Amino acid sequence: MTIALTAAALFTPAERLEQPLLFLEGPTITEISSRKEREVPTGFRLVDFGDNVLAPGFIDIHIHGGAGYDVMDSSPEALTTIERSLARHGVSRYFPTTVTAPLDKILAALQRLADAIECAQSANSSQALRAQPLGIHLEGPFISHVRRGVHPPEYLVPPTLFTFERFWEASRGHIHLMTIAPELPGAMDVISEAAKRGVCVCLGHSDSDLSTTRQAVSFGARHATHTFNAMRPLDHRSPGILGEVLTDSKLTADIIADGIHVDPSVVRLFLKAKGPDSSVLITDATAATGMPDGIYHLGGFEVEVKEGMCLAGGRLAGSVLTMDRAIRNVIQFTECELKVAVQMATSNPARVAALETCGTVRVGGPADLVVLTAAGEVTNTIIHGAGI
C-alpha cells in the first residue's frame, strides 16, 4: 500500500517544509509535496503526525552498545537487542564501534560485524524495526598510550600496514571509519592507505602536536573523534591537535554532548568553531545505555555506571547517552534550533561516512524517518518504511 505522511513540518534537513506530504512505496520515498499544493489521492493511507516534525532517521557513527550488550559480543541476540533500542531513540543507521582488545578478539568481532552488515543489506525491509549497521568504526588499537582513556594499554599496537590489512580482510572491507593517533610511528602510512580505500580516517586518542596533526590531514585524515576527550588539551602557545581540529575547515569533528564528557560552555564553543555543517553528534554509548546503575562491559573490560556516569578505573568509559537526548542537550547548551541539531545527527554524519543515500529526506531515498516533537523528543521511528 502507498502511504502518505504529513506533519506540521519536515526537515530535509537542509530545508524546512511546512505542512509536508511524503509519499512512500514500501521502503522508498516516492514524492515530496505539501498539503498546500496537493491532495492525498483516493486509496492512499494517510498518516497525520499532527504538530510534530518529520526528519531523517538519525545516524550514529560512534556507538559501542546498549540495552545490556556490546557490539563485540559474540551472542546472537546482542546486535538485535542493540538495534531495537537504537530505533526507539530515532536511530535508523549506525556504525558499530570496536575497542582495543587482543588482536584475535578484534579480528573475530570484525568478522561477526561484517556478517551482520551483509545480512542487513540483504534482509527484507519489512523485518522488525531495527537500526541497520552500515559499516564498522575501528577505534583502537592504533591509539596513544598517553591518551588511551580506558583502552587496555597491554593491547595497544603500533599502526602498521600489515596489521591494518589483517583488520581489513577480517571486516571484508566494511571498515568505514578508523580512529588513529597520528603521532605514532607508522601512522602516516596507515592513514594514507586507509584513505585510499575510502576509509574516513579520524584523529583521536592522540597527544599529537600541531604540525603532526596537519601532516596527517595532508595524508588523508578528515575527521576528529570525540573532540576534547582523549586529546592533548588546548594550549595557547602549543595548540596541539585541538588547534587544528577547531580551525581547519577541511576537518569535520564529532562531540559527546552529554554534559559530562564536555562542559556545556565548551560544546557551545565547539559549535561556534566548527559551524553547523562540520559538527557531528555521537553517543559513544556503551552496553549500559538504557540500563540501571550497575556493572557492564565495554569490549573485554568492565565498566560501572552510577548516576549517569560510565567509569572504568575512575576514568570516563563511554557514555549512556542516546541520540535523541544528545539533540535535546545541544539545543539547551548552544541555543541552536532543532533543525541545526537534527542536521548534526543526520546529513552531517552521513557526509562524514560518505553515505550517498542516507541522512536526508529525498525522492528515491530510503524511507528512514523520525517523528519529533518541537522539543526534540522522539514519538515514532520509521525504518525502510516500517514502523508506521
- What are residue 341's phi and psi, to 5 degrees? -60, -40
Is residue 263 flagged as an active site residue? no
Catalytic residue among 284, 293, 324, 368: 284
Cα–Cα separations (whole angstroms), residue 290 to 66, 67, 305: 7, 5, 11
CB-count exposure of residue 46 (10 Å: 0-12, 13-18, 19+): exposed
- Rounded to whole angstroms, how far apart are CA atoms 57 and 347? 10
Residue with cell 544528545: 326
Give dist(CA 216, CA 154) in Å, integer. 25
Burial class of residue 122 (count of CB atoms within 10 Å of its CB; 0-12, 13-18, 19+)? exposed
First to last CA, the chain: 12
Cell numbers found for residue 359:
541522512
Residues identified as active-site: 284
